Amino acid sequence: MKSTKLALSLFILFLLGAFLVGCSNESENTSTEGEGEGEEYSAENPLTLSFYSEDGAEKSFDDPVAQAITEKTGIKLDMQYPVGGNEETVPLMIASGDYPDLIFAKGDISKLIEAGGVIKLDDLIEEKGDNLKAMYGDQLDCLRNTIDDPSIYTVGTYGVEGAYWSTSGSFQIQLDVLRELGYPEIKTLEDFEAALTEYYEKYPEIDGQKTLPLSLLGSDWRWLITVGDPAAAVAGIPGDGQWAINDDTGEATYKFLLPELKEYFKWLNGMNDKGLLDSESFTHTYDTYISKLSSGRVLSIADQDWNIGDADKALVADGKEWRTYAPLPVTLGEEYVSQGLKDYGFAGGWGIAISSTSEHQEEAFEFLDWMASEEAQILTNWGIEGENYDIVDGERVMKEEDRERMNNDPDYSKETGVGYYVYPFPQWGNGAVDSNGQPITPNSEEDIINNFNTAEKEVLEEYQMENWIDWFPPTEELGVSNHGQAFNYSIQSGSELEIIQQKADDLTEQRITQAILGDPAEFDAAWESMIEELEAMNIEKANEEMTQKTKDVMELWGTN
């Protein structure tokens, strides 16, 4: 008898609750228009703008470069970021209507646009965005949102121009393998396998430990980096994440449906069968992987430089330069072209937006515009004249100490601010030059070459090259992408496309891993059944939608 009453009262509570939590942001959005307008902010009386960056880190805006920015603009930034990699920050912002002034939300920007949380910048750019206009030029279209809503909401993130002085290739091989085998030419999987086999037979052990000819890291999200990406790379497919996109027609295919990828994984399966693949490639943790690399007994990897920084440092510190790696332009066969140096153009996509509730939209915009100016670009990239760099014969030259720290001290950028405020703000990019024809960033190919370790220099010499990129087909030959890169598209969260892709990604990671580790006789059957499962989850529909997206992007950008 009591339970009826109980149920009734719970129900009433439930409704009451819905009402109370539901009374959301009625009282909000009282952004008093024009308040503070006309007021001049200066270094003595700075305006603090809150800036949320999804890629941000713990940092206060007080380094020398930040102070110089405040001096020039009267703006200070209060930098916020999702602590602990929290994914709920943007939804909570939307639910509560409490937005920071500036928002860098990466892919979540579409949610903010939908919720009316950020403003259109078109008019502001038109009226007072001279620096932005000069910077983006005819690339301005790449900033536009979608074909249905072709407004500009964000600016920044990637360099308008790009220079391609380095690549991690499809595989990286130990320098000692190259030396030992008399500096062979390694272009195809066949060459690559032969080289590993030969070295492995000669040296089954390195420093008393078992040699591992090829090691991958397929136990966490890095599966995508060390297993999924190389598969497309060896087939000469440009980096579009999980997609293979025909840049002329815009046709998109979920990449694991392609026969070339099957061929690659079949090869990996063979490598595993022959004992050439580290049997723990799909179970060891990142730390273990790095420690294996640091021990110098891993002959080759399929990884990116930024993922193995710690191992590289440890090897050099141990005097094992010959155990560090060189990037290889390996492909399935001579007919495939390595895309290691592909220029994806300015892809727009993510960027910094200004919130609709900000009381300082004008100032925020002026700040972003200033960040795109030549003065700002030199300041953020080079630091302060006389402190971080000198002008020698009319050219900017980084101080020796700064150059040294920049290359070796991970805290350099954080402490001095040099280079810290480049990404994700509007940036000119590597290779761009200022009004005097000087490079806008201190990075240069020369710098990269100078930084090679002794073993690297020796190997390059043997091959009669200056830089590893000389192995790769040059950027000019590969053409510029018409659609940018597929992972930059704004895809609606929770849409069918997103759900299908998530399911497909989950499936392929598991099935491909199992197929690689399985019996070679069963590989074909395993692959077939994976394709069937993909079809059953309607991957065709995802292909179609992705094709449409690509076409829309190309139409929006005028590149079709």
Partner 1 sequence: MKKKKWTMFDIVLTIFMIFVLVVTLYPFLNIMAISLNNAIDTARGGIHIWPREFTFANYQEIFGSNDRLLQAFMMSILRTVVGTITGIIASTMLAYTLSRRDFVFNRLVGFMLVITMFIGGGLIPEYMLIRNLGLINEFAVYILPMLISAFNVIIIRSFMDNLPIALEESAKIDGANDFTIFWRIIIPLCMPVIATIALFLAVGQWNSWFDTYLYARGNEALTTLQYELMKILDNTNISGGDITSQNAEVIAGQTNPQSIKMAITIIATIPIIMVYPFLQKYFVTGLTLGAVKS
Partner 2 sequence: MSNLAKQGEGQSQIPATTSVKVGMGLGKQKKTPSLKPNKNGFWKRLSKQKALILMSLPFVLWLIVFKYIPIGGWVMAFQDYKPQFGLLEQKWVGWEHFKDLFDEPMFYRALENTIGMGVLGLVFGTITAIGFALLLNELRFITFKKWTQTISYLPHFVSWVIVANIVITMLSQDGVINNLLMGLGIINNPIAFMSNPDLFWGIVTAADVWKETGWNAIIYLAAMAGVDPQLYEAAKVDGASRWRQMWHITLPSIRAVIIVLLILNIGNLINIGFEKQMLLGNNIVAEKALVIDLYALDYGIGMFRYSFGTAIGIFKSVVSIILILICNGFAKRIGEGRVF
Query: Would you give the binding string for partner 1 spanning residues 513-532, x where CB under 8 A is met?
Result: --------------------
CA pair distance 117, 356, nearest whole angstrom: 5
Check binding of 514 to partner 2 (CB under 8 A): yes
Question: Shortest gap between Cβ of 416 and partner 1 (angstroms)?
Answer: 14
The one-character DSSP state at 40 is: P
The one-character DSSP state at 409 is: -
**Pick 272 or 485: Cβ nearer partner 1:** 485
Check binding of 153 to partner 2 (CB under 8 A): no
Which one of 145, 338, 481, 488 is in contact with partner 1 (CB under 8 A)?
Answer: 488
Burial class (CB in 10 A: 0-12, 13-18, 19+), 384: middle
Could you tell me which residues are beta bridge partners of residue 433? 439
Task: State the Rg of the chain over Cα.
Answer: 26
Stretch of 127-135, 284-292, 463-471, 512-520 contacting partner 1, by CB under 8 A = 284-292
129 neighbors 138 (Cβ within 8 angstroms):
no
Check binding of 310 to partner 1 (CB under 8 A): yes
Question: Shortest gap between Cβ of 317 and partner 1 (angstroms)?
Answer: 6
Which one of 50, 167, 219, 361 is in contact with partner 2 (CB under 8 A)?
Answer: 219
Which one of 48, 197, 304, 560 is in contact with partner 1 (CB under 8 A)?
Answer: 304
CA pair distance 65, 384, nearest whole angstrom: 7
Phi, psi (5° rounding) for residue 181? -90, 10
545: Cα within 13 Å, side-chain hemisphere: 16
**Pick 91 or 184: Cβ nearer partner 2:** 91
The one-character DSSP state at 427 is: B
Check binding of 305 to partner 2 (CB under 8 A): no
Check binding of 15 to partner 2 (CB under 8 A): yes
Check binding of 19 to partner 1 (CB under 8 A): no
159: nearest Cα among 348, 435, 421: 348
Check binding of 311 to partner 1 (CB under 8 A): yes
Could you tell me which residues are beta bridge partners of residue 301? 172, 215
Query: Would you give the binding string for partner 2 spanning residues 264-303, x where CB under 8 A is met?
Result: ---------------xx-xxxx-xx---------------
Q: What is the dihedral of CA 291, 294, 297, 300, to 10 degrees?
A: 100
CA pair distance 70, 51, nearest whole angstrom: 14
**Partner whose binding site includes residue 82, from partner 1, partner 2, none (CB under 5 to 8 Å by kind):** partner 1
Which one of 181, 499, 526, 531 is in contact with partner 2 (CB under 8 A)?
Answer: 499
Q: Is the peptide bond before 474 cis (omega within 30 degrees of 0)?
A: no
Check binding of 34 to partner 2 (CB under 8 A): no
Site residues (vs partner 2, CB under 8 A): 10, 13-26, 87-88, 91-92, 94-95, 97, 108, 111, 114-117, 218-220, 223, 279-280, 282-285, 287-288, 493-494, 498-499, 502-503, 506, 509-510, 512-514, 517
